[in-house]
């Protein structure tokens, strides 16, 4: 793996992860993900953010450092913007290879170094606005950016090159290959990255959208020429693109979002699916875009991305043993955890010998502050009249979404 030059003194050292693991133990990454570390060289050498021993990342990092002519034992500072283990899991091994390197983070970050990795020496806690002089005019500034998406998070700023190192902020899923910069990808490739960026945001960052906005406001005075996140593309041609994208995603948390509808459904024997098909026809007749996500066949990770960006939502599931279809119960718990609020929602579903899903569902969504259309339930397979009623329900939801500001 080679190093990628951002400026005469700044390099990206990225590792591509294409292992079958789940990101954070939850989210699928079928197109992989990158772990981006950065090196800044003055008279002294700083490494910004680290890796975990995952998918051959340590070897890739060592190869990239060697490409710049640097060994681990030459590193003077390790700057940890964020302590989640995908950026710190290899810290003990790094410390053995770089015994002189001083580890720098926020006070909360240093506490996590101690509790996670039992390292007590060679640590420095920095405050908001504090600087690190590497010599040769290379000065790094640290700005606290809590809750993007852990409370210890900070960003590092290199004023000379105009590079912002924001760790998980402005990141994305997807491995990079031998290209890392935004101007190296085609429009078609950027479309793929944008979808994976939205899914990353919805999966990882959505709960903390208010803090995304605060961080962008805090950094507004910087002349940012390059955004160098810990996952995904390095934005050297158009850093404003990823900033605007994140602000747009953050706005979805307040709603309304896009005038689209996400249909999240589960069916045991096809009866609820007939209702989903009818609702979809009604939505289609009103010309409103919609997406379909069958649970549990598809990971909630993908459904969550479309649900997060859509103003309208259809939740469809049968009654199962007097309550909700269990996979849908899990989906709604994820929605609660990710603060998927302010949606306009229709709930439908079939039941066998008796109902019960409706009561269970209404209790589950109470914290979400959804605007709910009247639910539609039926016994067994829907009749012709019920199919027509479900189509009208789809039209009703679509019209409501079109009217949102």
Partners of residue 39 on adjacent β-strands: 11, 47
Pairing state between β 33-41 and 45-48: antiparallel
DSSP string, 335-366: HHHTT--S-EEEEEEEESSS--HHHHHHHHHG
Q: How far apart are CA 228 and CA 239, in angstroms?
A: 9
Q: Which of 201, 220, 252 delimits the end of a domain?
A: 252
In the prediction, which pLDDT does 55 show? Answer: 92
38 with 228: CB under 8 angstroms? yes
185: CB partners within 8 A, 6+ apart:
179, 193, 233
Task: Examine the fold and report which residue of 252, 268, 301 is the final residue of a domain before the chain moves on.
Answer: 252
From residue 64, give the alpha-carbon distance in Å to each of 60, 226, 233. 6, 20, 17
Note whether 99 and 219 are same-domain residues. Answer: yes
Cα 3 off chain centre by: 25
Which CATH number do you get for residue 272? 3.40.50.360
Q: Choose among 101, 88, 8, 27: nearest CA to 54.
A: 88
CB within 8 Å of 341: residues ≥ 6 apart? 253, 255, 368, 369, 370
Claim to verify: residue 262 and residue 162 sit in the same structural domain: no
Q: Could you tell me if 115 and 131 lie in one domain?
A: yes
Query: By the 8 A CB rule, do 376 and 348 touch?
Result: yes
- What does the pLDDT profile of the chain (405 residues) look like in tens digits? 799 999 999 999 999 999 788 999 999 999 999 999 999 999 999 999 999 999 999 999 999 999 999 999 999 999 999 999 999 999 999 999 999 999 999 999 999 999 999 999 999 999 999 999 999 999 999 999 999 999 999 999 999 999 999 999 999 999 999 999 999 999 999 999 999 999 999 999 999 999 999 999 999 999 999 999 999 999 999 999 999 999 999 999 987 899 999 999 999 999 999 999 999 999 999 999 999 999 999 999 999 999 999 999 999 999 999 999 999 999 999 999 999 999 999 999 999 888 889 999 999 999 999 999 999 999 999 999 999 999 999 999 999 999 997
Please give the full DSSP string across 275-306, using - where no structure is assigned.
HHHHHHHHHHHTT--EEEEETTTS-HHHHHHH
This prediction's pTM: 0.95
Is there a single domain that holds both residue 274 and residue 238?
Answer: no
CATH number of 168's domain: 3.60.15.10
Provide the 10 A C-beta neighbour count for residue 402: 13
For residue 237, give both structure tokens.
Answer: 């041609």
Claim to verify: residue 12 and residue 53 sit in the same structural domain: yes
Pair (204, 323) in one structural domain: no
Domain end position, chosen among 252, 278, 312: 252
Note whether 238 and 310 are same-domain residues. no
Question: What is the structure's pLDDT at 254?
Answer: 82
CB 38 within 8 A of CB 47: yes
What is the pLDDT, as a whole number, of residue 1? Answer: 75
242 & 262 share domain: no
Which of 50, 79, 85, 84 has the alpha carbon at shortest distance from 64? 50
What local confidence, expressed as pLDDT, does residue 299 receive? 96
User: Could you tell me the residue range of the domain that residue 292 belongs to?
Assistant: 258-402
Pair (133, 29) in one structural domain: yes
DSSP code of residue 60: H
**Nearest partner of 5 among 184, 173, 185, 231, judged by Cα:** 184
Distance CA 185, CA 199 (A): 19
Tokens 């079928």 found at: 30
Which residues does residue 262 pair with via DSSP β-bridges, in sequence order?
Answer: 291, 313
Number of domains in the chain: 2
Instruction: Please check whether residues 217 and 234 belong to one and the same domain.
Output: yes
pLDDT (0 to 100) of residue 276:
98
Using only C-alpha atoms, the chain has a radius of gyration, in whole angstroms, of 24
Q: Are residues 37 and 151 in the same domain?
A: yes
Residue 263 near residue 279 (C-beta atoms within 8 A): yes
Residue 233 and residue 107 share a domain: yes
| Other Cβ atoms closer than 10 A to 168 | 24
């Amino acid at each position: 793996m080679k190093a990628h030059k951002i400026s005469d003194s700044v390099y990206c050292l990225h590792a591509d992860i294409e292992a079958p693991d789940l990101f954070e133990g939850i989210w699928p990454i079928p197109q992989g993900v990158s772990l981006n570390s950065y090196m800044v060289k003055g008279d002294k050498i700083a490494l910004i953010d680290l890796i975990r021993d995952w998918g051959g990342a340590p070897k890739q990092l060592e190869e990239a450092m060697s490409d710049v002519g640097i060994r681990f034992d030459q590193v003077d500072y390790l700057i940890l913007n964020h302590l989640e283990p995908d950026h710190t899991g290899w810290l003990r091994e790094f410390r053995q290879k770089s015994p002189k390197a001083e580890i720098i983070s926020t006070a909360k970050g240093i506490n996590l170094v101690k509790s996670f990795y039992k390292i007590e020496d060679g640590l420095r806690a920095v405050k908001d606005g504090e600087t690190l002089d590497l010599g040769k005019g290379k000065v790094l500034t640290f700005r606290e950016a809590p809750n993007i998406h852990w409370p210890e998070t900070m960003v590092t700023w290199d004023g000379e090159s105009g590079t912002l190192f924001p760790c998980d902020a402005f990141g994305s899923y997807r491995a990079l290959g031998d290209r890392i910069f935004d101007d190296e990808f085609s429009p078609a490739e950027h479309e793929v990255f944008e979808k994976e960026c939205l899914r990353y945001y919805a999966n990882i960052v959505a709960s903390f959208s208010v803090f995304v906005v605060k961080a962008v406001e805090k950094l507004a005075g910087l002349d940012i020429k390059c955004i160098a996140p810990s996952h995904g593309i390095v934005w050297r041609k158009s850093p404003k693109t990823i900033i605007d994208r994140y602000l747009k995603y953050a706005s979805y948390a307040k709603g309304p979002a896009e005038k689209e509808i996400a249909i999240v459904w589960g069916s045991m024997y096809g009866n609820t699916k007939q209702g989903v098909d009818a609702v979809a026809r009604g939505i289609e007749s009103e010309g409103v875009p919609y997406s379909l996500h069958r649970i549990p066949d598809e990971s909630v990770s993908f459904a969550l991305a479309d649900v997060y960006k859509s103003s309208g939502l259809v939740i469809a599931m049968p009654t199962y043993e007097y309550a909700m279809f269990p996979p849908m119960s899990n989906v709604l718990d994820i929605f609660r955890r990710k603060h998927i609020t302010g949606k306009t929602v229709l709930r439908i579903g079939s039941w066998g010998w008796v109902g019960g899903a409706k009561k269970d569902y209404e209790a589950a969504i109470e914290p979400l502050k959804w605007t709910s259309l009247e639910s539609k339930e039926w016994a067994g397979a829907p009749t012709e009249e019920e199919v027509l009623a479900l189509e009208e329900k789809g039209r009703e939801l679509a019209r409501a979404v079109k009217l949102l500001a």
